[in-house]
Amino acid sequence: MPVVVARLARFGLRSDIDVVAARRGVTEWAREIELSLLDRTKVVTAASELARNTVVYGGGGVMSLEIVRDGIRSGLRLTFEDRGPGIANIELALEDGFSTGGGLGLGLPGARRLVNDFALTSVVGVGTSITIVRWKT
């Protein structure tokens, strides 16, 4: 059965203030579709990390927030897009401990563990797109 988009909003991501607004949107919609507290926490944490990465490493971009339905289940699908430098080695970027910014290297792999579906595409010099889905359990 194809995924149906029930609702869509877009958030520009250029600053920390935008990251907070995007996080607030995810929190509100997660409550609206009645994700459990644990699932809300997971998707909001992943969204916050990916939104921050979009600003810091991608030079800004956009987050699309969707309520999606797939048969009888519903969830949140978030897509983060930037036109930044891209990720040269996606496999390495998804390994725990890898960091280009001097952090702990838990951002991308941590976000991936917090959601049900995770897809990353990136082209050096063109930008990066990451889509995550957290389904209601």
Structure confidence by residue, pLDDT tens digits, 72-105: 899 999 999 999 999 998 988 888 776 655 554 4
User: Buried b / exposed e across 22-56, counting CB within 10 Å, b at 16+?
Assistant: bbebbbebbeebebeeebbebbbbbbbbbbbbbbe
Give a three-class secondary structure readout of 70-88: ECCEEEEEEEEEECCCCCC
Tell the residue number behind the tokens 């889509």, with chain if given.
131
Element (H, E) at 65: strand 61-70
Sign of CA dihedral 111, 112, 117, 121: positive
Q: Look up the domain containing 52 and give its range.
A: 4-135
Task: Please tell me the total count of domains within the chain.
Answer: 1
Q: In 10 A of CB 5, how many CB atoms?
A: 11
Beta bridge partners of 119: 131
Please check the confidence at residue 16 and state whether its pLDDT lies above 80. Answer: yes
Q: Give residue 107's pLDDT.
A: 83
Q: State the Cα–Cα distance between residues 26 and 49, nearest whole angstrom.
A: 12
- Summarize the confidence of residues 19-32 as an average pLDDT: 98
Longest CA pairwise span in the chain (Å): 43
CATH number at residue 88: 3.30.565.10
